Structure 1
Amino acid sequence: MSERIFNEDFFKKLNKINMHINFKLSSGTQGGRKSKAKGVSVEFSDYREYAPGDDFRRIDWNAYGRFDKFFVKVFMEEREGVFNFFVDKSKSMDYGNENKKDTALKVVAALSYIVLNNLDRVNINTMDSGDIQSIKSAAGNKAFQRILRELENIEFDGKTDLTSSIKKRPLTPRGVSIVVSDFLNNEGLKDLEDALKYLAFKKQDIILVQILSNEEINPEFNNEITFIDSETSENVKMSLTPSLIKEYKSTLKAYKKSIEDITKKYGGKFISVNSSMEIEDIILGEFNKKRVLY
């Protein structure tokens, strides 16, 4: 997968960017993020008056000479960020000439690389029929190849119930949750909002990534056509007309706007991409526009 999707030039670009994170971490193991906890990293934070039990080596003797009191240097401790990926593995994701599932896996792989490269932790979860499966929790640069192998083994043959799936995932407070799906389901916006409420309650930075195929975004005019629900096998026959396609595009636009509004309500970000886009354009373009990367 790595040879087909990523080239040396793209890896060089990934090495120069990082994930935005909107808080200072107060828990977790040592990593590359600034924490509220005070520790002994190389970055100076503040002074405080010496207390019994403090390390004498941290006494600032210049401050003692000025104030005739012992002061110790306090440094900003670094913690790892935790990035939780939720991948929709429903059958509807396995669609399109430029397949949605392939683009979804590329997005997760690229973001995982960025996360690991910046000493943060990746948790990858797949969602199917209201259940959730954690397929990988990893940290460190060497973990990337293992994540790629796990992603390659995902089969997109389930049904959609994102809300129930997400609620079944215990989350450590203070993290980033990235949901990758087409969000084309029968749950409705109310159920999606319940999932966002849960993530917000768990103090997650929320990012929703919608993957749509070009056929879904720009349907062609083909007169009589039968639509088949890939998850339920239900079918509907319709006569496509220019006016009907126009109405469809308007409805899709309004639906995407509704998802974006709900996501913003809980402090999150919504990104919708076409599966025919190059992965570089998605990561370095669309994600950068939303200030998810810097």
Structure 2
Amino acid sequence: MPKTEKQTLLSPELLARLERLELVSRKIFRGRMKGERRSKRKGQSVEFADFRNYVAGDDLRLIDWNLYARLDQLFLKLFLEEEDLHFFALIDASESMNFGDPTKLLVAKQLAAALGYIGMCRADRVSVTALGPHGRRAPVLRGRSSLWKMLDYLDSVTPGDDSNNVSLHDGVKDFSLRTAGTGVAVLISDLMDKSGYESALRMLIGRRMDVFVMHVLSPEEIDPPLRGDRKLIDIEDGDEAEITINAFVLEKYRDTVRQFIGTAKQFCSRRSIVYIPVRTDTPVETIVTKYLRERGVVR
């Protein structure tokens, strides 16, 4: 039986490493259920955090009677509260993502699966969504046992079909209209959209999400191995252009790519969005366990 994409998204060795990681949020969100992460809010759990003065009506079981015996004052023990986090992985499944070897979409699926599994191992709520109109959203997942549901969903995502033939703006708008609450949102995209990516990111910020952008590009896009007379066809809308590719044209192209990347990075930086460049020739394990750790996405 040949290996399916679902079976190869995450290797057993990578799964074992992911179980030791944790998703990080730069903001405090009030979870719906108890999770396995430590909150900056004070509540009740097993780890002591601080004291505060007793107020009538407080739970008497939390009074520190040893401290009362020494100081003749009532103090309540406070503990770090454990809470769950809602993690959203938003995958750009437009036709432009179906490029490279491996394709950008495959790498996006691997990254979404890896981050989703980290969240599920910590009892966080995980939503993995291919940006598109109704019907493309996977159910909210929690717990290690949900891994195969997530992989089944990712296996069903294909590039450029009618359900994914939408702009980033429309895809994020649809996600926002159908999704309640807030949390950590990771947009995994090549950001190649003729209508722009800026309005989509502004919508996520407007939702008070903790936003991360994983900008996925293939080596062939950064430095194309092309020469001579070529007809270029836009993979998404069919626009054509005939050009002669020489050293001068290639250098102008490289400058344009560098400017595109720099502008996206600057746009994100000004809005407190964590920008993470991703090359498809970099192993996913390296991206998750090294680059994402360095940029504070996981720990």
Q: Normalising by structure 2, what TM-score?
A: 0.89
Task: State the alpha-carbon separation in 2 of the partners of residues 49 and 172 from structure 1.
Answer: 37
In the other structure, the counterpart of 2:109 is 105
Task: State the alpha-carbon separation in 1 of the partners of residues 271 and 134 from structure 2.
Answer: 24
CA deviations on 1:61-93 (whole Å, 9 max, x unpaired) are 112112223222122221111111111111111
Give 1:105 shift. Answer: 0.6
Asked if residue 215 in structure 1 is aligned to residue 220 in structure 2, the reply is yes
In the other structure, the counterpart of 2:276 is 271
Task: State the alpha-carbon separation in 1 of the partners of residues 166 and 92 from structure 2.
Answer: 7
In the other structure, the counterpart of 1:32 is 36
**Aligned residue pairs, count:** 290
Task: State the alpha-carbon separation in 2 of the partners of residues 5 and 197 from structure 1.
Answer: 30
Give 1:118 shift. Answer: 2.0
- Taking a change above 3 Å as real, the CA distance of residues 47 and 172 of structure 1, as seen in their structure-2 partners, is farther
Asked if residue 136 in structure 1 is aligned to residue 139 in structure 2, the reply is yes
In the other structure, the counterpart of 2:16 is 12
In the other structure, the counterpart of 1:152 is 155
Task: State the alpha-carbon separation in 1 of the partners of residues 224 and 64 from structure 2.
Answer: 69
Structure 1 residue ranges, 4+ long, deviating more than 6 angstroms after superposition? none
Task: State the alpha-carbon separation in 1 of the partners of residues 121 and 270 from structure 2.
Answer: 31
In the other structure, the counterpart of 2:58 is 54
In the other structure, the counterpart of 2:194 is 186
Task: State the alpha-carbon separation in 1 of the partners of residues 208 and 97 from structure 2.
Answer: 28
- Taking a change above 3 Å as real, the CA distance of residues 36 and 283 of structure 1, as seen in their structure-2 partners, is closer
The two structures, once aligned, show a CA RMSD in angstroms of 2.1
- Percent of aligned positions with the same letter in both sequences? 27
Task: State the alpha-carbon separation in 2 of the partners of residues 33 and 243 from structure 1.
Answer: 53
Equivalent position SS for 2:35: strand
Task: State the alpha-carbon separation in 2 of the partners of residues 196 and 116 from structure 1.
Answer: 25
Uncovered stretches (5+) of structure 2, i.e. residues with no partner: none
8 Å Cα contact 1:19-1:115 kept in structure 2:
yes
In the other structure, the counterpart of 2:184 is 176
Give 1:222 shift. Answer: 2.6
In the other structure, the counterpart of 1:84 is 88
8 Å Cα contact 2:34-2:82 kept in structure 1:
yes
Which structure's residues are more often strand, by fraction?
1
| Matched letter for residue 257 of structure 1 | G
After the TM superposition, which of the residue ranges 71-80 and 82-91 deviates more from structure 2? Answer: 71-80
Give 1:212 shift. Answer: 1.6
